Chains A and B, each alone.
Chain A
């Protein structure tokens, strides 16, 4: 079995920052696994600005922010980047098995950093009732369809939840000529950043219905409308409050779940509610020598904080390896 000093799983902002920081702290043999064909993770589809304000004191787009790290990561000697590489197994003995288009390999590392990011909560996780037609997307999938692939997922959109990706996508749909009928938020106030509420919602006059939820999605083949109800403090529907919104698309922006299935497989402790790492100290897991950073560790609001914290995680891993 091949041996490595450090394996970083995930080539988004967290993985890149952690790998670079570990390298700068003296770790000389690092393997970075990324399942996509690019480094940068979700930043690649975030073409809006607002990244880098804290870390670089500049307004950057997601891809611009990512490229500052990916150039560095790729050219740094001692960091080997393996793209289109999908980790399928992790053991507490720090063995990682991964697949890539030409091989399956198992490698043992002295330390591992998990930077696997998160996934979006789905319609199914919030138990949204009604039919199951085409036109129900997670906000991030709609973002990828528009920004990376160049397609318009829908023309009349209702957004469920006021998470940041949903707010940003509200503006994005309008800029592409679509209508955003409403944002439906179960809580009494927004979940997103204030700046997104102002720049993406208020500036475009998008109606937000707080303390409302979708009672039902309608439409056989494609979404045709949604039934919306007002709810009381306990979440129960207020009688007679139901109204119908015609739309062809429902966007889900109802939170993120750390993607920690590999850690779970290895037996690491996870928070049963959030799926985040349950650790005694920041960036450690319950398994010695296995660390976690970025959205896999806990869900962050802004990428600048991810970079800052992943920096520390890389340093911790270096210290564990007797460096720094």
Chain B
């Protein structure tokens, strides 16, 4: 994909890694660079095998994972006997370790499932006993007095709630990016803008015989893990396994201004509906209240549009939980598609296609379960005959990224003394410095959305009106691309359509006698 492209002056290390890797023969290819694919890559990067992630979008996490709310579920609200329940509880535990090792901000905020009447209170008891059987720790039913003290903006009509303290919140994209960065430092190679178009089996029942044709050339692999999210059925079909179909279930989320971060303390859930956990209210890892998602099945795997009907539906449901929610405080919204293949996850070896593992239908609680899914896939790969020997040195740790919005001003002061660029604020609404933006690019961001997901710049109340031009310039400078090639989320989404034809800029702007701060 980089043939014929003049290399930019300075490579972000992550991008450089992709360019250098011309060898396209791997022991293991993971199709799909979302949270599941990346968690599997990181888990297996401790072994002496060559691993690649193939991602069709311009950056990792740009598929299903980018619309994730970041909730680390405790394992409540899952029907008994399902694989996803077991993996959720395991994943909840494993996630804490991963967050610590990678310096990802994980907050154990706890969740409340609220009941509005005695009938619902009975359902809570059922949910509690189901969850306890799964091993969810420390569940208690809390009363109105407790709620008034600990969640003062909650509707007074709430009768009681199930409190699950082990629920938490994490930034879904930063989790993906930080796991990927750590995996890359352990040798995993990532091929972006690489869409698999066909998979062929060369030779017979022994490993090492997959040939993948992609939009960026051919690849060979001994083993394949299909973590292709919404497109997992199509990938599986390429090796002849067509017994499941992914049906997208759309959900729309609405983000409120950060100044309302006081509104809630816990993740607030209603009694779960049949097709989802219901419309809830949370505070994201970045401190913004968020309401949603609704759940509607769609046939279009690319339908990420939002509608007024959904907004009305989500607002009404959120106001029922927290009456102070106001539509005027919405600063952003987006839609996501859950990849549904029946009620449960599909994680299995395929008899018809040895050395091919399907990881499909990873809907909620997929993000929570991802580390446990990775462990399970490791076992399945061993069963298929993949020999896994530990590396002498596995780099378990990653240096945490700095986010000014998350540190007290005293710490900011110290950071500026160490590096003046921390005092050069680019995004005023979310307080993001030039230093953080440059670092996000060095760590792999190649698009404006990539910068937003990593730093929050453009994600605040002005929605990039003030910082877009500065960010474009920094991105152009750091990647060596011209401004006209800077995109929102990959080729085809360029921000500008070209250079201006006329040039009659007022000379005064640059000639004015000014002192620079």
Contact = CB atoms under 8 A, between A and B. Distances in A.
B256 to A, nearest CB: 11
B494 A104 contact: no
Interface string B484-515: 10011111111111111111111011001111
B331 interface: yes
A37 interface: yes
Interface in B136-168: none
B465 interface: yes
Q: Most A CB atoms within 10 A — which of B311, B483, B500?
A: B500
Contacts of B16: none
B423 A99 contact: yes
Contact of A64 (B417, B489, B508): B508
A134 B304 contact: no
B306 interface: yes
A225 interface: no
B505 A67 contact: no
A86 B425 contact: yes
A131 interface: yes
A264 B420 CA distance: 28
B514 A38 contact: yes
21 contacts: A34-B517, A47-B505, A64-B508, A84-B424, A99-B412, A99-B425, A100-B424, A102-B423, A103-B417, A119-B465, A124-B330, A129-B311, A131-B304, A141-B464, A141-B469, A145-B496, A149-B483, A150-B503, A151-B484, A153-B496, A221-B489
A102 B483 contact: no
A80 to B, nearest CB: 9
Given A67-B512, A151-B499, A221-B488, A124 B465 contact: no
A4 interface: no
Nearest to A64: B508
Contact of B461 (A119, A147, A148): A119
Nearest to A104: B413
A138 B308 contact: no
Contacts of B413: 103-104
Contact of B517 (A70, A89, A100, A140): A100
A138 B465 contact: yes
Contacts of A286: none
Given A104-B409, A176-B502, A120 B465 contact: yes
A124 B494 contact: no
Given A35-B425, A151-B500, 18 more contacts: A39-B512, A83-B516, A86-B428, A100-B424, A101-B421, A103-B417, A104-B409, A124-B332, A134-B489, A134-B495, A138-B463, A141-B466, A148-B509, A150-B499, A150-B503, A153-B496, A222-B493, A248-B497
A74 B514 contact: yes
Interface in A273-296: none
B424 A47 contact: no
A154 interface: yes
Given A84-B517, A132-B304, A97 B409 contact: yes
B412 to A, nearest CB: 6
A207 interface: no
A74 B516 CA distance: 11
Interface core residue of B311, B423, B494 (most chain A CB under 10 Å): B423
Contacts of B425: 35, 86, 99
Interface in B294-319: 302, 304-308, 311
Contacts of B353: none
Interface of A: 34-35, 37-39, 44, 47, 61, 63-64, 67, 70-71, 74-75, 81-86, 88-89, 97, 99-104, 119-120, 122-125, 127, 129-134, 138, 140-141, 144-155, 175-177, 216, 220-222, 248-249, 261, 264
A250 to B, nearest CB: 13
A261 B306 CA distance: 28
**Contact-residue bracket for chain B:** 35 or more
A120 B462 CA distance: 7
Interface in B324-381: 327-328, 330-334
Contacts of B125: none
A104 B412 CA distance: 8
A89 B462 CA distance: 19
Interface in B407-447: 409, 412-413, 416-417, 420-425, 428, 431, 433
Most buried by B among A64, A102, A103: A102
B463 A148 contact: no
Contacts of B495: 134, 153
A47 B506 contact: yes
A74 B488 CA distance: 38
A63 B428 contact: no
B276 interface: no
Contacts of B416: 99, 102-104
Contacts of A134: 487-489, 493-495
Interface string B260-296: 0000000000000000000000000000000000000
Contacts of B513: 71, 74-75
B500 A152 contact: yes
A218 to B, nearest CB: 8
Contact of A146 (B327, B421, B500): B500
A175 B416 CA distance: 44
Nearest to A257: B461
Contact of A148 (B498, B505, B508): B505
Contact of A221 (B259, B492, B512): B492
B477 interface: no
B213 interface: no
Contact of A145 (B306, B469, B494): B469
